[in-house]
Amino acid sequence: MNNRFPEGFLWGAAASGPQLEGAGSKYGKGKTVWDYWFKTEPEKFYQQIGPETTSNFYEQYKEDIESMKEIGFNSFRTSISWARLLPDGKTINPEAVSFYRDVFSRLRNNGVKPITNLYHFDMPYRLHLKGGWENRDTVEEFAHYAKVAFETFGDLVDTWVTFNEPIVPVEMGYLNDKHLPAVYDMGRATQAAYFTLLAHVKAVRAFRESEQTGGIGIILNLTPSYPKSDQEEDREAAKWADIFFNRSFLDPVVLGKYPEEITEFLERESISVLYTEEEIALIKENTVDFLGVNYYQPRRVQRGDKKAGVGLDKYFQSYQWLEARINPHRGWEIYEKGLYDIALNIRDNYRNIPWYVAENGIGVEGEEAFLDEFGEVQDDYRITFMEDHLRWLLKGIGEGSNCYGYHVWTFLDNWSWLNEYKNRYGLLRLDLETQARRKKKSAYWFKQVAETNQLPQSGE
């Protein structure tokens, strides 16, 4: 099997402003929903660690960027904080401009291509008070924010992302209690999802109108849905899971239209969505240049419960595949072939759009148990996880899928929403008391792969 990746393949990691930067209330930054939630209900956070300091990238980014270069990165994706750049929605924060411009400049000077995301779950609190993604005004505010970002940083950044995993705030905020507003309401969820898509589309239009070089895309967490059996009801369940959690964003951003089944779903559930025909035309006209794909686990589904009153259980239910290998720390199934299946799906059904793996990684609790006598984490499990996924990715590329990069989640152990530092994902270990960084064994493995642009032969 060919172990080499295509010429110019992107190697690096993904991160986000709210999970990495810190300086949560400093340097002119406005308040986000996470700042508010931690202040009012810190008991909901696993370790009672808030978003104020996180991984201190704001203060240590110069050294961190040097470390990225040292371990072979040629690219790095992070996000701008909307609340930092435009604290009141109108006035540009000069301290934010100075910080981000220096970050992007240093990345470029070190041979690391910046890929810059506009939104990673960090809704400005002032907009949350007005309804967040349920409010059409938020769409216009986001379009303005995007325009400001393109104008302010476009000379340093040519690859932009509108949203990371837009389905997650919808699922976790309106069908769960893991994000604010923490309610269960299918109608509100649907409206929030539509306005999120519309915000994405208007940002794409703003990018095109800015006449900047480069491209703009979106990052979706794609979870292939596998039916429990070949029986019709199980296959129907997998179809609906795919529509809700993959195609609801994937189809409109790449193909310019919603799946027909979405209309059927809205009629069945008596859900009305505020939209205009002009907006539907806008969706059709502003598809993405590329796609980022986050892949961690598959979705195993079986027939729905037709007696279920509200929610998605009537369409599908999850089940535990008996042959599954589970990461016990996160509870997620490890299924490397899912990345290959995604590659072929994009090739066959989404015009073989250029795409890259925007996140892939494994979180482990208690990594200090794997410290050797020299203080280095011997994370062979992370190396195995990456290598196994990359071998399936290579197979997909070899069969014609247009994948051009692989980013691990993440560069440095970072803050993970309500779980904070319970599970560690980084190639570098973070000491929470001193904020010191230390490369793990996986960082050296990643460096070898990135610099040779190939996987080691078996046994190396």
Kindly list the catalytic residues: 165, 359
Strands 75-79 and 10-14: parallel
Strands 299-303 and 316-318: antiparallel
User: Rounded distance, CA 270 to CA 347, Å?
Assistant: 35
User: Rounded distance, CA 186 to CA 199, Å?
Assistant: 20
Specify whether the CB–CB gap between 441 and 384 falls below 8 A.
no
Give residues with Cβ within 8 angstroms of 106, minimum separation 6. Answer: 61, 62, 65
For the chain, state the CA radius of gyration.
Answer: 21
Q: Write out the two tokens for 243.
A: 């529509």
- How many distinct helices (H) and strands (E) make up the chain? 16, 17
In sign, the C-alpha dihedral spanning 364, 365, 367, 369 is: negative
Beta-bridge mates of residue 290? 217
Specify whether the CB–CB gap between 379 and 424 falls below 8 A.
no
H helices of 50-129, in order, are: 57-70, 82-85, 94-109, 125-128
Q: Write out the two tokens for 134.
A: 């349920």
Q: What are phi and psi of 365, to 5 degrees?
A: -85, 145
Specify whether the CB–CB gap between 134 and 49 falls below 8 A.
no
How are the residues of the chain apportioned to helix, strand and coil, as percentages rounded to the nearest 5? Answer: 45, 20, 40
DSSP 414-425: --BGGGBTSEE-
User: Rounded distance, CA 357 to CA 5, Å?
Assistant: 13
User: Each residue of 435-451: b (16+ CB within 10 Å) or e?
Assistant: eebebbbbbebbbebbe
